[in-house]
Structure 1
Amino acid sequence: MISSIGTAEGTVPRIGDRITDKTAPPDDTAIRSWIGPEAFERWAELRKWIDEFYPGVFAPDWLYGGKSRGWSLRYKKTKAFTTLVPEYRRFSTVVVMGGAEREKFEERRYVWRPQLVKLYDEAKTYIDGKWLTVAISSAEDLHDVRDLLIMKRPPPSGS
């Protein structure tokens, strides 16, 4: 049996486990309970930042990726912008970087934090780009993701 959050009943969730109950997308209460209050503050901060810097551009869309991937919150216009993935006691963001974004990243390679460069170098490159998954566990991680998103898609004028 699956609990309301998504682990098998009687199973203790592990760091990084996903929300897998497919009956309905998680609400803020379920997200906060799953990722924890500190991670939820960063989750809310990133969502607010996207709304403020990209007003009216994205309509966040919950996607269910099956039992192994669970729920994720995708921001997309015509191309994917970012996807937020609630995981047990943390959350991650996925930024798909196409050719143009990879060029920009490489131009600034020595400006980025070493941890981000290592993640970038280790990320698998697919036909549609390099899928960079960044676990958000500090203000610095959040800052890196915001910089990546601005590089990927500069905010509209006036933001």
Structure 2
Amino acid sequence: MEQSPEVGDRITDKSAPPDDDTVCDWIGPKAFGHWAELRNWIEAYYPAVFAPEWLYRGKKRGWSLRYKKSRAFCTFLPEYRLFSVEVVLGGAEREKFEARRYGWRPQLVKLYDEARAYPDGKWLKVGISSAADRRDVTELLSLKRPPPRSPG
């Protein structure tokens, strides 16, 4: 008998990367709206820069959607009834973050302060449940790699 998924569980069926319907069913329609908005934002602000790639990260971590050029840009994490984005801030990005420290939302600063520092940077896992959370992520991504042009 299979156990029903719990909030935060990952998509672990290794047979094939999930499609949009699977992701929507897993994270829920509201979270999927944020998923689609962020994907559209990346496509609009970074046209033809990234080819998103599904990665299977093992039985515990499941599938994730990575945006990468030469360096990782961000990774979308579809979790049961949740959607999070992982952003790694290297040394230069951490300096920029600190320079704007008091301009960020307090929740993001707390997340940043609590994130463990690794040799390649701080790994922030930002839960997305509102337009403000999405804006935090788009600002972090713009800090990491300024958009080549704005859409229009």
Distance 2:7 2:96 in 1: 32
Residues 36-63 of structure 1, C-alpha deviation per residue, up to 9 Å, x if partnerless?
0000000000001000000000000000
Q: Secondary structure at the match of 2:133?
A: helix
Structure 2: any 5+ residue segments left out of the alignment?
A: none
Find 1:98's aligned residue among 90, 93, 100: 90
- The residue type paired with residue 97 of structure 2 is F
1:48 has 2:3 as partner: no
SS at match of 2:98: helix
- Structure 1 residue ranges without an equivalent (≥5): 1-8
Confirm or deny that 1:149 pairs with 2:130. no
Partner of 1:123: 115
Partner Cα distance (1:117, 1:23) in 2: 38
What is residue 60 of structure 2 aligned with on the other side?
68
Q: SS of the residue aligned with 1:110?
A: helix
Work out which of the residue numbers 25, 45, 49 in structure 2 matches 1:57.
49
Cα 1:29–1:150 shift into 2, 3 Å: same
Write out per-residue CA displacement over residues 11-35 of structure 1, whole angstroms, 9 at most, x where no aligned residue: 1211111000000000000000000
Count of residue pairs the alignment pairs up: 151
The TM-score, its normalising length taken from structure 2, stands at: 0.97
Partner of 1:4: none
**1:128 alignment partner AA:** D
TM superposition shift of 1:158: 5.1
Q: In the TM superposition, what is the alpha-carbon distance from 1:157 to its structure 2 partner?
A: 3.2
Distance 1:119 1:46 in 2: 20
Q: Percent identity of the aligned residues? A: 68
Output the aligned Cα RMSD: 0.9
2:90 corresponds to 1:109: no
Choose which of 22, 26, 37 in structure 1 pairs with 2:18. Answer: 26
The letter of the residue matching 1:45 is: E
- Aligned mates of 1:39, 1:157 — CA distance in 2: 27
